[in-house]
Structure 1
Amino acid sequence: MSTSPAPPALAYSTANCQVARAMAVLGERATLVVLREVFNGVRRFDDMQRHSGVSRQVLSNRLALLVEHDILQREPYRSDGGRVRHEYRLTPKGLDLYPVLAAVADWGARYYAGPEGPPVELAHRDCGGVVHTRLECEHGHLLEQREVAPRPGPGARPFEEGALSPSA
Structure 2
Amino acid sequence: MAAAVELLGDRWSLLILREAFYGVVRHADFRDDLNVPRSVLTDRLGKLVRDGLLEKTEYREQGARARHAYGLTKKGRDLAITLIAMTEWGVEHCLDGHSPVDIVDRKSGQSLRVALVDEEGKEQPLTRVALKVKGQY
Larger mean Cα displacement after TM superposition, 42-51 or 141-150: 141-150
- Supply the distance in 2 between the matched residues of 1:30 and 1:149 (Cα, whole angstroms): 32
Partner of 1:76 in structure 2? 58
Partner of 1:15 in structure 2? none
Counterpart check, 1:122 vs 2:103? yes
- Supply the distance in 1 between the matched residues of 2:113 and 2:31 (Cα, whole angstroms): 28
Q: Give 1:114 deviation, angstroms.
A: 5.8
1:126-141 equivalent positions in 2, closer than 5 A = 126-141=107-122
- Supply the distance in 2 between the matched residues of 1:137 and 1:145 (Cα, whole angstroms): 12
Q: Give 1:104 deviation, angstroms.
A: 0.8
Alignment-mate amino acid for residue 44 of structure 1:
R
Partner of 2:16 in structure 1? 34
- Supply the distance in 2 between the matched residues of 1:104 and 1:139 (Cα, whole angstroms): 25
Q: Count residues in correspondence.
A: 136
Partner of 2:27 in structure 1? 45
- Supply the distance in 1 between the matched residues of 2:134 and 2:30 (Cα, whole angstroms): 39
Q: Give 1:75 deviation, angstroms.
A: 1.3
Q: Which runs of 5+ in 1 are unaligned?
A: 1-18, 157-168
Alignment partner of 1:147 out of 123, 128, 131: 128
Partner of 1:95 in structure 2? 77
Alignment-mate amino acid for residue 132 of structure 1:
R
Task: Calculate the aligned-residue CA RMSD, in Å.
Answer: 1.7
Alignment-mate amino acid for residue 126 of structure 1:
K
Q: Give 1:150 deviation, angstroms.
A: 1.1
- Supply the distance in 2 between the matched residues of 1:55 and 1:147 (Cα, whole angstroms): 45
Whether contact under 8 Å (1:73, 1:88) holds in the other structure is yes
Residue identity (%): 36
1:25 alignment partner, SS class: helix
TM-score by length of 2: 0.91
Whether contact under 8 Å (1:25, 1:65) holds in the other structure is no
